[in-house]
Amino acid sequence: MNGEFELSLFMISDWRIGTGTGRYGYLHRLVQRDAEGTAKAPGAPIVPAKTLVGVWRDSCELAAHALDSGSSGVWHDWLAFLFGGQYATGDPMLRPAALVLNGPLRLPDRLTGLLRDRPSVAWAATFRKPGVAIDPVTGTAQTEMLRFEEMARAGVTLSGRGRIEGYDGLDPVGREAAVALLMAGARLLEGIGGKRRRGAGRCRLTIDGLAGDFAILGRTDVPAPPTDRPFSVEDRPMAAPVARPGWETVNLTLTVEQPVLAAATVQGNLVEGADHIPGWCLMPEVARRLGGAAHALVRTGDLVVTAATPQTPDGERSLPVPKVLVHAKGAPARPTANRMAEDAADGKQYRKGFIAPGNGTIIIPGTTLRMHNTIDDDLQRPTRAVGGVYIYRALAAGTVLRAQVRVRAGALPSGWERRLNDRWRVGRSSKDDYGRVRVEAQAAVQEDRVRAVGGVLRVWLLSDLLVRDARLRPSTEVADAVRALEAAFAKAGAPEVRLTPIIAGENGRVAVAVAAGRTESWHRGWGLPRSTLYGLAQGSCLTIEVTGRLDPAVLAEVR
């Protein structure tokens, strides 16, 4: 009993779930399709999980309103437990959803394979439907308002899988209540997609794998769902174990199976994710899977997770492009000069991308653009008050990323990396169409490539650097970064070393190339926004004069 179930959606009438886009000269509105299409045969139509969750929630709200005889009660509490909180003015916290769907609902594998092998059949899975706009005054068709919409054919069954997070932690009555509410909502769900109030999208949703009994809907003593929030910290957390000097390193290979929206920034109605997965996005999942002392190691800084960056053609982990590199206009694939090593007046500075350490190739991962909307319950259409129409730009499915997990030697039992092998859900909107990655962990071979340093030290930031000035304000000043680095060297065993930043370059070369980085973070456990993380951006390069000698062990510790 782990809360997993199977969904079957039978389409009674023709249906369409659009992309929000069209094809000039052919169609005004396209249906969403599976990404596994080819140039000759388009992918099969799908029902996105986000769309299904939206209409399923509406049906469950209708059932909860009837069972509670109003807009509040124990069944509304179960509704919030299953589908999570909704963004609304005045809500102090948002509860995460316990209902998770493993991606969109698709046609059976045998049928999708047939559509790939027979392009003519694949194109026949949909058809063009003409439509017009009606003049409200005359009641006739308006001129120059003819349109064509793509429709998927009726009579097909789409299937998918899902689960209820925390199902094992519920008591028997709580399990029955959760399942009964979902099944009641499934019974009430009659239409999905566009034009469903005009006959399109008639459907029947069934749930298999969960034992439910509608008799519980008539009881008056149904208990409320658990209020304990996930990701909470124990009142008396475990102490960090004693570890040996040095680090154990594990390489993570992450294959993106669904688009990942991590470290998203909002620009108008565009929500744009990062071109990598930050380490702070992976850390909660790593700590949860390792369990036990892992949380204590995170607090003491003895468990480190790097950002997951694109894998190079050689199978290595790429690194953020140094800000000192420039490229020719319109040709970012290969750097043309290093401004720290030569006079390079011409060329454009890299603002994004990653570099392969072996051959210097620039890697810019692909992204996926999808349009979504939030429906106003009263007007039953997207409005600005509840979010309206918005766009997600996410890391594309099929991207392969590499990251590292570093733990103090001896802090965890041997073979701890095997606990990380699994499918994870990370990033924003990971309960439906986004965020699923396949993770493979393998112990890394330790390579000692650090040499003693004296004289001049060049620093290349592989992640954002957060430092504070003398007044404890977030700072992007080079002097504050150098002061923090000097303190780190002193803690690592070199208190006599003194660092002085070199700002001015010579002979047309630069000594410093920095940029500011800003992250609007979110505390998932609290369900609230955190303070803005502002500092030096990854890829920034510094030149520092070293007074004294930095041993390899000290440099390795700080790295």
Express each pLDDT in 318-344 by its tens digit: 999 999 999 888 888 888 888 888 877
CA 447 to chain centre: 32
Q: Residue 12 and residue 163: Cα distance in Å, rounded?
A: 26
Q: Is the pLDDT assigned to residue 308 strictly greater than 90?
A: yes
Model confidence pLDDT, tens digit, residues 483-528? 999 999 998 888 898 999 999 888 878 889 999 988 887 776 676 7
Model confidence pLDDT, tens digit, residues 254-291? 999 999 998 888 888 899 999 999 998 999 899 999 98
> Letter for the amino acid at 16?
R
Quick check: 153 and 14 in contact, CB under 8 A?
Answer: yes
Q: Is the pLDDT assigned to residue 37 strictly greater than 70?
A: no
Model confidence pLDDT, tens digit, residues 343-379? 777 788 888 899 998 888 899 999 999 888 888 777 7
Mean predicted confidence (pLDDT) in 215-241: 71
A 10 A CB-CB count for 146 gives 12
Band of residue 72 on the pLDDT scale cut at 50, 70, 90:
confident
Quick check: 273 and 440 in contact, CB under 8 A?
Answer: no
Could you state, in order of their start, the residue ranges of all structural domains in the chain? Answer: 4-218, 247-318+356-443, 453-558
Model confidence pLDDT, tens digit, residues 151-204? 999 999 999 999 998 898 899 999 999 999 999 999 999 999 988 888 899 999
Q: Is the pLDDT assigned to residue 244 strictly greater than 60?
A: yes
Kindly state the percentage of the chain with pLDDT values over 70.
93
Model confidence pLDDT, tens digit, residues 410-424? 888 888 999 999 999
Exposure on the CB side of residue 241, measured as CA atoms within 13 A:
16
Lowest-confidence region among 29-38, 161-170, 304-313: 29-38
Mean predicted confidence (pLDDT) in 76-95: 77
Q: Residue 24 and residue 160: Cα distance in Å, rounded?
A: 33
pLDDT given at position 380: 76
Looking at every residue in the chain, the average pLDDT score rounds to 87
User: 453-558, which class in CATH?
Assistant: mainly beta
pLDDT given at position 90: 52
pLDDT given at position 89: 46
* Cα Rg, the chain, nearest whole Å: 27
What do you get for the CA distance between the two ends of the chain, in Å? 45
